[in-house]
Structure 1
Amino acid sequence: VDLDEEVLYRKQCLLQISSLYVSKVKELCLVGIGGIGKTTIAKATLNDVKHMYDASCFVECDESGSNCYKTSCSILEQLKVEAKPKHLKEA
């Protein structure tokens, strides 16, 4: 893959994801095989939109996702959010 094409593709992804936040999306989950740039895109997106929110965080989970639920609940608790997710898909 040409490096210029890769940069253009990632910029397009960032624009598409950033446009979701304008429509008040509160959370976003990026899924895919390792090494395709999910973490890079997620961190760049967060930096672009975090000024729109009172609080923001970035949670990086391992492949099993075993700690994601617990971590998400802990973050919500610290933010004083009363409604807790019942399972990881809601977190």
Structure 2
Amino acid sequence: MCAEHIRKLRRNGQRWKLEDAKARFSEVVRMAHSEGPQRVTVRGRDSVVVISAEELDRLMQTAPKQLLVEFLEGLALDGLEVERDRDEGRDVAL
């Protein structure tokens, strides 16, 4: 790869024109592993991003599921004072 092309990629945040990405796909993949996401443009606009499988796995991880009781206990509401209104309602004529 020529030095000018490398400078242009660095300046543009690792963007590749589609035709360049197709011609140098091995390099795009290698750079996705070593330098991070690689953007591919179509007609000058971002179209897709090539990322490593490890990065995808990291992004796709979901938070561990938690029981409602555990969630509520973790809210740290110890200092919260809640008072119930003593209103007992109204009389209803039947």
TM-score normalised by L of structure 2: 0.26
TM-score by length of 1: 0.27
Is the strand fraction higher in 1 or 2? 2
Greater helix fraction, Structure 1 or Structure 2:
1
